[in-house]
Structure 1
Amino acid sequence: MSAAPSPALALTMGEPAGIGPDITLAAWLLRNERDLPAFFVTGDAGLLRARAAHLGLSVPVAECSPEDAGRHFHAALPVVPAGPPAAAAPGRPDASSAPAARAAIDTAVSLVQAGRAGAVVTNPISKAVLYAAGFTFPGHTEYLAHLCGEPAPRPVMMIWSPELAVVPATIHVALAEVPHLFTQELLVETALIVARDLERRFGIASPRLAVCGLNPHAGEEGTLGVEDEIVTRPAVESLRRAGIDARGPLPADTLFHPAARAGYDVAIGAYHDQVLAPVKALAFDRAVNVTLGLPFVRTSPDHGTAFDIAGTGRADPSSLIEALRLARRLAGRDAARAEGQPAAELAFDGPPA
């Protein structure tokens, strides 16, 4: 008896006034050329039809159930209705934006938790728009963890690309707050989640972790700041005692050239820009945001809403395409593991297959 088809991926509409609708339509048009997995959009079908007309794109939109998405996918963009209608024009968020964006996320997560979607892929949201509407979470990542219920899992943001994978230990916080938040406990917990998911979801048998120092030159043994001697070095030693292949503290300014990148599977930095700047410089259009630590697969394009180019036809769907393709691979590994079957390692030395 043949196996049942894998559930389609749930792609959230994202901020209605941003480029999420644009790149969604563009990705669907490239579905055959780029061998994309079947996906459906959670959100407002009317807004997607209007954006397609605005952009002059011939994209039929079919409202359907998650189970029927695969049947519709090759002829039309499947949409599972979620939340209130979205009335925002490209580049101009309005009062309908936040409720529509949040409902799209809620629906996608509920469907993947129910086994009706294979993974969640999220289009960009505007935190400023959500904050103005009473959203109290720092961002997508923390909200997704909240939706998992209590106790909420500890989510970790990894930016993955064929050239480089990175994790910031602290994420969306002011730089002045980093030294107070950067603790041994945080670093060890983050690294353990990274190592576990690289092994479990990416199939890397013994992940190699390179841990950046907080200070220039990793503190020069305390002469350029004591944090790396009292936080980073003891944390790495603790990880090594736990059997994790971790090295550090390492100077961030020499960690991202090709020869150095060949020596590790992921670089863990102390703060956001320390590791996101290198990966975006190397792979801006191919980098994918992957949330580790969740009970389901979540990926996202590694860019924002780009209000300035929404509705112009200039938005590049490349990062969304890679997010969809990576989600398929990770969800496939989850399914294979659940069935006790082997699955290939996800290598970091080339584009996703």
Structure 2
Amino acid sequence: MPSRKQNIAISIGDLNGVGIEIALIAHEEVSKLCNPLYCINTSMLRQATTLLNLKFPKNMQLHQVDGEFNIEIGKTTKESGLYSYNSFMSAIELCEDSKADAVVTMPIHKEAWMMAGLDYKGHTDLLRKHFNQDAIMMLGCEEMFVALFTEHIPLKEVAASIQYVKLKQFFIDLHNSIGDAKVAVLGLNPHAGDNGVLGNEELRISKAIKSANKKIGFEQFAGPIVPDVAFTPHFRKNYNYFVAMYHDQGLAPLKALYFDESINISLNLPIIRTSVDHGTAFDIAYKGEAKTLSYINAVKSAISFITPNQH
């Protein structure tokens, strides 16, 4: 653990959802871990605390974000989408200006971003375009992490996206981000293609694995693994890190096993960004039912990535 408390910029997420409630409930605990800098203005925080029947906190450091709107609990609105975007950009700027050491994000609503005219599919997509780097989305917890080769694209486009050169670079970038941990790489097709009987994408995956391992200098990446056995206890005894070819292939088992404690980490970027691994949860927003474990784990993970060799 670093000797001084790190400054962590908190992107507050969609204020119509559970993010602000989680931040307020967990504030005292998070303040023991770091110096949280909340990207929200005084007026919007006061409105949220009133709706939550909570006292306005006197000891929260606020980084004022322009804009005011009426919070509409559990609704998708362009106003909440735009404010969550502005909060995120403010958090990024704090890191770029060396005023914060990392960003932790509360959940945004992708449809609200679209309604606000924002041409991004989420936090990771924005980071990728903002920094012009191939950010890697990795989700999980201490027991299991899953890195996604493709993310928010239609399933019908996944097979064509599995290209040797891009996959090899993905493996090398992942190695540079996580170090020497062993990684199990899932195949795309049932039975990992059965040697071409059920598909030939595994040939490209295998070639990329061999080439990346050769460049790295040791057998870090193993596979392609048959997808329906990859997350069994047998495999998870030997591997803590997995690469999934598409979103649900990796996240369905992860969330079935570790939904409450998992986090989202953006790798291969000039800044550190972690996030809760859940959505805006409009159905329970402002009802006092939101859980804080994923958020607290995201803060802890951000701190560990700030200091080399702690992750």
Could you say whether these structures have the same fold, taking a TM-score greater than 0.5 normalized by the shorter chain as the test?
yes
Pair 1:54–1:37, CA change in 2 (3 A): same
Distance 1:162 1:5 in 2: 24
Q: Does the 8 Å contact 2:48/2:71 carry over to 1?
A: no
Q: For the structure 1 residues 185 and 83, does the alpha-carbon distance in structure 2 shift closer, same or farther, using more than 3 Å as the test?
A: farther
Aligned residue number for residue 23 of structure 1: 22
Aligned AA (2:38) = V
The correspondence for 1:226, drawn from 200, 204, 222, is 200
Q: For each residue in 1:118-140, what CA deviation from the matched residue of structure 2 results, as whole angstroms up to 9, or x when unmatched?
A: 10011111110111121112221
Q: Does 1:246 align with 2:243?
A: no
- For structure 1, which segment, 152-161 or 90-99, has the greater mean C-alpha deviation from structure 2 after superposition? 90-99
> Is the Cα–Cα contact under 8 Å of residues 11 and 38 in structure 2 kept in the other structure?
yes
Structure 2 counterpart of 1:60: 57
How do 1:59-208 and structure 2 match up within 5 A?
59-61=56-58, 76-148=59-131, 152-199=132-179, 206-208=180-182
Q: Which amino acid aligns with 1:102?
A: Y
Task: Give the distance between the partners of 1:261 and 1:236, measured in 2 at CA.
Answer: 19
Question: Which stretches in structure 2 are left out of the alignment for 5+ residues?
Answer: none
SS in 2 for 1:82: coil
The residue matched to 2:297 in structure 1 has which SS? Answer: helix
SS of 1:254's partner is coil
Match of 1:14 in 2: 13
Q: Residues of 1 paired with 2:30 and 2:151: CA distance?
A: 33
CA distance in 2, matches of 1:251, 1:317: 34
> What displacement does 1:182 show?
1.5
Cα distance in 1 between the residues matched to 2:47 and 2:30? 20
Distance 2:295 2:5 in 1: 20
**Is residue 263 from structure 1 mapped to residue 238 from structure 2 by the alignment?**
yes
CA distance in 2, matches of 1:223, 1:54: 58
Deviation string 1:176-215 (CA, Å, 9 cap, x unpaired) is: 111111211222121111111002xxxxxx2212110000
> 4+ residue runs of structure 1 moved beyond 3 angstroms?
3-7, 29-32
Structure 1 residue 232: Cα displacement: 1.0
Q: 2:190 aligns with which of 216, 232, 236?
A: 216
- Residues 8, 118 of structure 1: 8 Å contact kept: yes
- Give the residue type in structure 2 aligned to 1:165: F
SS of residue matched to 2:260: coil
Distance 1:328 1:312 in 2: 30
Contact 2:7 2:100 in 1 (8 A): yes
